[in-house]
Amino acid sequence: MFSQGGKGSETPIQPVRDSHATPRSSGETSIISADLKVIGNLVSGGDIQIKGVVEGDIKSRTVTIGEGAKVKGAINADSVHISGAINGQVEAPSVTVAKTAKVNGDIIHQTLSIEAGAHMEGNCRRIETKKPVDTTTSASIASLKPAASPAPAEVGKKAVGGG
Amino acid sequence: MFLNLGAARDDNARRPASGEILAVGEAYTVINGDLTVIGDLIGDGHIEVKGTVKGTINSRSVEILKTGVVEGAVIAESAIIRGQVIGPVRANTVIAATNARIVGSVFHNVLTIEPGAKLEGRRPWRPHIDRNLDNE
* Residue range A140-155: mean pLDDT, rounded: 48
User: How many Cβ pairs within 8 Å bridge chains A and B?
Assistant: 102
Query: What's the CA gap between A134 and A2, in Å, rounded?
Result: 50
Residue B136: the pLDDT is 54
- When the pLDDT of each residue in chain B is averaged and rounded to a whole number, the result is 85
pLDDT at B23 over 80: no
Residue B97: the pLDDT is 97
ipTM: 0.79
Q: Is A141 within 8 Å of B35 when comparing Cβ atoms?
A: no
With respect to residue A59, please indicate whether it lies within any of the assigned structural domains.
yes
Residue A128: the pLDDT is 84
Q: Concatenate the DSSP letters of all residues of B6-45 into one string.
A: -TT--TT--S-SSSS---TTTTEEEE-TTEEEEEEEE-SS
Residue A131: the pLDDT is 66
Q: Which of A73, A119, A69, A127 is nearest to A97 (CA)?
A: A119
B91, B62 contact by CB (below 8 A): yes
Q: Which of residues B17 and B129 earns the better pLDDT score? A: B129
* Residue range A101-116: mean pLDDT, rounded: 96
With respect to residue A133, please indicate whether it lies within any of the assigned structural domains.
no
* Residue range A2-19: mean pLDDT, rounded: 41
With respect to residue A98, please indicate whether it lies within any of the assigned structural domains.
yes
Q: Is B44 within 8 Å of A35 when comparing Cβ atoms?
A: yes
Query: What's the CA gap between B24 and B28, in Å, rounded?
Result: 6
pLDDT at B33 over 50: yes
pLDDT band at residue B120, thresholds of 50, 70 and 90?
very high
* Residue range A136-143: mean pLDDT, rounded: 58
Q: Mutate which of B30, B35, B37 to test chain A, going by most A C-beta atoms within 10 A? A: B35
Q: Which of residues A31 and B22 earns the better pLDDT score? A: A31
CB nearest to A35's CB, from B26, B33, B34: B26
Count the domains in chain A.
1
With respect to residue A135, please indicate whether it lies within any of the assigned structural domains.
no
Query: What's the CA gap between A60 and B35, in Å, rounded?
Result: 8
Q: Which of residues A9 and A136 earns the better pLDDT score? A: A136
With respect to residue A85, please indicate whether it lies within any of the assigned structural domains.
yes
Residue A73: the pLDDT is 97
With respect to residue A12, please indicate whether it lies within any of the assigned structural domains.
no
Backbone angles phi, psi at A139, to 5 degrees: -65, -40
With respect to residue A157, please indicate whether it lies within any of the assigned structural domains.
no
The domain in which residue A84 lies consists of 27-127
Residue B132: the pLDDT is 84
Say what percent of chain B tops pLDDT 90: 75
Residue A85: the pLDDT is 97
Residue B133: the pLDDT is 79
Q: Provide, as residue numbers in chain A, all residues whose Cβ is less than 8 Å from the Cβ of B62.
A: none
With respect to residue A103, please indicate whether it lies within any of the assigned structural domains.
yes
* Residue range A114-142: mean pLDDT, rounded: 79
**CA triple B95-B100-B104, angle to 5 deg:** 85
Residue B5: the pLDDT is 42
Residue A144: the pLDDT is 58
* Residue range A19-30: mean pLDDT, rounded: 54
CB nearest to A26's CB, from B28, B32, B43: B32
- When the pLDDT of each residue in chain A is averaged and rounded to a whole number, the result is 77
Who contacts A92 (Cβ-Cβ below 8 Å, separation ≥6)? A63, A75, A76, A77, A78, A79, A80, A108, A109, A130
Model pLDDT for residues A62-106, shown as the tens digit of each residue: 999 999 999 999 999 999 999 999 999 999 999 999 999 999 999
* Residue range B17-36: mean pLDDT, rounded: 69
